[in-house]
Amino acid sequence: MTVIAPAGSPPPTPPGRRHSFTETIGGHLADLWDNEFNGRLFTGAQWKSPAPIYLAGQATDPKVRDRQLEVFRSVRFTQQ
């Protein structure tokens, strides 16, 4: 599957518990997070290189949140 992701910075996350961490995904550093607020779970990943892109998701179930993070970890970059 190929996805064209938006460039730039993600929207700010709502207040609440936020867990941030950095991982190497697809050969590039990515900032990942999951945030919990009012019973909803927010997830995201942001790369500054090779292009400024981000992915974001929402869930109400921790298993779905974990699946979203797995999808973010599957990102691979190709040259155009």
- More confident position, 42 or 80: 42
Span 33-69, pLDDT tens digits: 999 988 999 999 999 998 888 898 999 999 999 999 9
Query: Cβ(53)–Cβ(47) under 8 Å?
Result: yes
- More confident position, 25 or 7: 25
Q: Concatenated DSSP letters for 31-70?
A: EEEEEEETTEEEEEEEE-SSS-EEEEEEESSHHHHHHHHH
Q: What H or E segment, with its residue span, contains residue 67?
A: helix 62-73
Percent above pLDDT 90 for the chain: 52
Q: Residue 22, CB half-sphere, CA atoms under 13 Å: how many?
A: 5
pLDDT tier at 8, thresholds 50, 70, 90:
low
Task: Tell me how far apart the alpha carbons of residues 51 and 60 are, in angstroms, rounded to a whole number.
Answer: 30
